[in-house]
Amino acid sequence: MKFAELKKRVDSKLKENSQEITHGSQNNLEVILEIVNKINSTLILDDVLELVLKSAIDFTKSERGFIVLANEKNNLEYKLGIDDNGNILKKVDFRVSKSVIDDVYKSGQSRFVESAQSDNNFDKSQSIFTLELQTIMCAPLITGKKKIGVIYVDSRLINKLDDKDVTDMFEILAGQAATAIKNAQLYNGQINAYNKQQKINSELQEAKEEAEKSDRLKSEFLAQMSHEIRTPIHIMLSNTELIKEDIGDKLSPELLFSFNSIKMAGQRMIRTTELIINMSEIHAGTYKLSPSKFLLGKEVLLPLYSEFAIYAKEKGLEFVFEFDSDDPELLVDKYSIHQIFSNLIDNAIKYTPKGKIIIIIGKDTDSRSKVEIRDTGIGISEEYFPSLFKPFTQEEQGYSRKFEGNGLGLALVKEYCDLNDFELNVESKKGEGSVFSVVI
């Protein structure tokens, strides 16, 4: 029975001034109202179960009560047991008429048993006779047409159940309890999900911090080692140049070649260590942009053109510097922009066995300053494009590769472009050359 039906019945009898309505009926209505308010005052599942069960035991004058709820597999599980003194019963004390509980849950209909010891219908029920049960009240917990469990009370005393108000109240309690329990389960599920998400977020944050710490330590280690390597190399190169100048014209062609080889190898090592230091600074977050005003062509690209023209000439390459627009004045970090174009020009010369390299200063369609570095070199395969800007990667790997390098140049170009909010674009076709453009 529903609470609204009980209230309607009482109200109707009051209007009719019926003799059937008694002080007890009105009192029952007040009791059920109080119980409903009480069990809906909390969303903590354990509190709801305890309030429901204590209320059921009190107004039915039962000796014990139990609540069993359905699990995910739709099997009933013991949740709570209480005696008439308010003591919480252990799971081992869950000895009841399971036949009654199973029947109520399957049928979805309440069962009320009075004088069970003399009822022939229970001759085969060993539990009822073993426990000496006389009165049993059991109702399904149903919410939204979904069965979520059963509420059960019993007693070794014979309680008269012919008073319909008692059985109606028990069913009303079961209906209200089902709603309160379902709400508490949903709330409990949300709390568990929130706590689980918080735990995952905490673990992710710890993992992130650990990874950042590891990356920072690695970068600091690389930077320290790079400094330790670069300093002695500078000393070696300086002393080699002093020796070369000292013996001057006494050098044989073989010794001159050896001195030049030492110089080139040393410069290669210095360039490698500088790349490592620069990458380490960026990854460690210690590199700071220092904007200043300068002319892009005159103060950056022209000096780089002059520096790399020697290497281009040695390879027999045509090396051209063109202006498609006025020389733009910039307010950006000069060191990083110098590193961007130094690496791009170096790569163009390195990967162009023959042909032409062009540096062009111009404008894009939005009138932003743009620098293009075009070459007729080996180009880049479509498959390698996703790895183009990853550190320590090259299209040709291993000791048998044709071109020297450590795979840091383009990675640094991308990092410096991102730091300055420059736009970096690449067009390339294998065997036909590449175009790298930087929009500032």
Residue 138: predicted pLDDT: 92
Q: For residues 22 and 27, what is the distance between their CA atoms, to the nearest angstrom?
A: 9
pLDDT surpasses 70 at 398: no
Looking at the predicted structure, is the pLDDT value of residue 27 above 60?
A: yes
- Which of these, 231, 222, 419, 241, lies nearest to 337 by C-alpha position? 419
Domain membership of residue 283 (yes or no) is no
List the domain range (segments joined by +) for residue 299. Answer: 288-439
Residue 250 lies in a domain: no
Question: How confident is the model over 330-343, as pLDDT tens digits?
Answer: 999 999 999 999 99
Q: Is the confidence at residue 399, as pLDDT, over 70?
A: no
Residue 8 has pLDDT above 70, yes or no: no
Which pLDDT band holds residue 287 (cuts at 50, 70, 90)? Answer: confident
| pLDDT of 118 | 78
Count the domains in the chain: 2
Highest-pLDDT range among 152-166, 218-232, 366-380: 366-380
Q: Within this chain, do residues 176 and 292 fall inside the same structural domain, yes or no?
A: no
Integer angstrom CA distances of residue 237 from 233, 248, 429:
6, 16, 39
Is 211 a domain residue?
Answer: no
Domain shared by 178 and 299, yes or no: no
Least confident of 252-256, 396-400, 411-415: 396-400
311: closest CA among 340, 281, 271?
271
Residue 133 has pLDDT above 50, yes or no: yes
Query: Which of 146, 162, 192 is the last residue before a domain boundary?
Result: 192
pLDDT at 69: 93
- Helix 334-350 and helix 302-314: axis angle, to 10°? 20
In 198-302, the DSSP E strands lie at 291-295
Do residues 314 and 421 both lie within one domain?
A: yes
Q: Lowest-pLDDT range, 128-137, 358-367, 374-383?
A: 128-137
Q: Is residue 271 part of a domain?
A: no
Phi, psi of 67, deg, nearest 5? -125, 130
Q: Which residue has the higher pLDDT, 166 or 125?
A: 166
pLDDT top residue among 386 and 344 = 344
Boundary residue ending a domain (168, 192, 216): 192
CATH of the domain at 57: 3.30.450.40
Q: Which of 192, 213, 236 is the last residue of a domain?
A: 192
78-87, 196-205, 273-282: range with lowest mean pLDDT: 273-282
Residues 78 and 182 in one domain: yes
Q: Is residue 366 part of a domain?
A: yes
Top-ranked range on mean pLDDT: pick from 1-5, 13-17, 194-198, 295-299: 295-299
Q: How confident is the model at residue 400 (pLDDT cuts 50, 70, 90)?
A: very low
Confidence label for 10 from pLDDT (cuts 50, 70 and 90): very low
In a domain, 379, yes or no: yes
Burial of 299 (0-12, 13-18, 19+ CB in 10 A): middle
Looking at residue 166, its pLDDT comes to 78
> Within 13 Å and on the Cβ side, how many CA atoms surround 332?
24
3-state secondary structure of 440: coil
pLDDT confidence of residue 84:
92
Q: Is 99 within a domain?
A: yes
Quote the pLDDT of residue 130.
81
Q: What share of the chain is helix, strand, coil (3-state, %, to 5)?
A: 55, 20, 25
* Nearest CA-CA partner of 136 in 175, 95, 107: 95
Lowest mean pLDDT segment, chosen from 119-123, 146-150, 362-366: 119-123
pLDDT, mean of residues 56-67: 90
> Does the predicted model carry a pTM greater than 0.75?
no
Higher pLDDT, 28 or 64: 64
Counting every residue written for the chain, the total comes to: 440
Asked whether the predicted pLDDT for residue 276 surpasses 90, the reply is no
Amino acid type, 221: F
Q: What's the CA gap between 55 and 375, in Å, rounded?
A: 87
Determine the pLDDT at residue 237.
84
Residue type, 73: K
Q: What is the tens place of the pLDDT at every residue in 374-397?
A: 999 999 988 888 888 887 666 654
Q: Rounded mean pLDDT of the chain?
A: 83
Q: What percent of the chain has pLDDT over 90?
A: 35
48 or 355, higher pLDDT:
355
Q: In what order do the strands lie in the sheet with 318-323?
A: 318-323, 356-363, 369-375, 433-439, 423-429
Q: Which of 24-28, 87-91, 161-165, 274-278 has the lowest mean pLDDT?
A: 24-28
More confident residue, 131 or 395: 131
Instruction: Decide if 238 is inside a domain.
Output: no
| Helix count and strand count (H, E) for the chain | 11, 12
pLDDT for 377? 93
Is the per-residue pLDDT at 286 higher than 50? yes
What is the CATH number for 380?
3.30.565.10
